[in-house]
């Protein structure tokens, strides 16, 4: 175990190590693990252990941008207990991963631009102290995989992914994910780039597409949108067909078809 010292400001010297039973989960899954504590030179009463699911989000202010950390789920893992000097304590925990948690890995490979993790917070002596961010890998739901794979087959090339501050219709999160692609294949004639956003729930998800259109004869380009719903019980072909129809609808608005 790799313990990290917390509460140094209070001379407590309490050390904490959070161990996840599996660092890769999907939205809707249960994340399990243990928080391990090692006492300092004196006995202390730990007033509570809290776990925060945290994401690094891009925030725009006028013409400038900066990144900040957002906690999108906070859960108490334990109430108060006595931690004797030098003693080791283990606290198991379970966290239900929210359905709208953004994707941070595809096919087992980290998604560039995404940073998610779990932060452990210790309440001691009436104060709170947070540890470092323990990385968390969120893989796509099967329905999300179908859409992502279909874009790959259509020739769209991955550009980047990030989290933008804001709440979309039908969402409960304070931010949303944008997976950005370069247009490829025949779609290069219609679009410059494409942005993909998922709003997932227990039984279905909404897919939002935003395309940066190319200008046509005597017309300028611009952005166009499409939104459709995919039910998890539907065959994979249904998600692919809905994606195709969404792309065609966006292209049609500029008279391409």
d(CA 200, CA 211) in angstroms, rounded, equals 21
Per-residue pLDDT tens, the chain, 257 aa: give them: 455 555 543 455 778 888 888 768 999 999 999 988 888 788 888 888 899 999 989 887 666 678 888 899 999 988 888 888 888 888 999 999 999 999 999 988 999 999 999 998 888 766 666 777 888 999 999 999 999 999 999 999 999 999 999 999 999 999 999 999 999 888 998 899 999 999 999 999 999 999 987 654 444 456 789 999 999 999 999 999 999 999 999 888 654 43
Question: Contact 122/107 with Cβ under 8 angstroms?
Answer: no
Q: Are 116 and 54 in contact (CB under 8 A)?
A: yes
The pLDDT assigned to 219 comes to: 44
b/e code 183-205 from CB counts within 10 Å (16+ = b): beeebeebbebbbbbbbbbeeeb
The packing angle between helices 142-153 and 236-252, to 10°, is: 50
Half-sphere exposure for 107 (CA within 13 Å, toward CB): 5
Domains of the chain in sequence order:
4-138 (2.60.40.640), 142-252 (3.30.1460)
The residue assigned the tokens 């087959």 is 153
pTM of the predicted structure, to 2 decimals: 0.86
| Cα–Cα distance list, 213 to 125, 152, 198, 254 (Å) | 57, 19, 21, 8
């Amino acid at each position: 175990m790799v313990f990290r010292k917390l509460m140094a400001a209070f001379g407590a010297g309490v050390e904490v190590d959070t161990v996840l039973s599996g660092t890769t989960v999907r939205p809707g899954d249960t994340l399990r693990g243990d928080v391990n504590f090692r006492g300092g030179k004196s006995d202390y009463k730990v007033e509570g252990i809290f776990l925060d699911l945290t994401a690094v989000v891009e925030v725009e202010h006028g013409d400038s941008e900066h990144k900040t950390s957002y906690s999108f789920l906070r859960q108490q893992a334990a109430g108060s207990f006595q931690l004797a000097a030098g003693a080791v304590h283990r606290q198991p925990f379970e966290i239900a991963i929210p359905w709208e948690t953004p994707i941070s890995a595809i096919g087992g490979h980290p998604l560039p631009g995404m940073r998610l993790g779990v932060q452990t917070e210790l309440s001691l002596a009436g104060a709170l102290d947070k540890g470092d961010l323990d990385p968390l890998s969120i893989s796509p739901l099967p329905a999300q995989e179908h859409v992502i794979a279909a874009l790959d087959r259509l020739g769209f090339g991955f550009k980047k992914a990030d989290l933008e501050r804001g709440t979309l219709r039908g969402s409960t999160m304070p931010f949303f994910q944008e997976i950005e692609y370069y247009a490829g294949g025949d779609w290069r004639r219609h679009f410059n780039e494409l942005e993909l956003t998922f709003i997932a729930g227990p039984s279905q998800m909404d897919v939002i597409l935003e395309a940066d259109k190319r200008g046509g004869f005597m017309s300028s380009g611009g952005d166009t949108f499409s939104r459709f719903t995919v039910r998890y019980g539907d065959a994979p072909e249904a998600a692919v067909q809905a994606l195709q129809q969404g792309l065609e609808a966006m292209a049609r608005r500029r008279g391409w078809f």
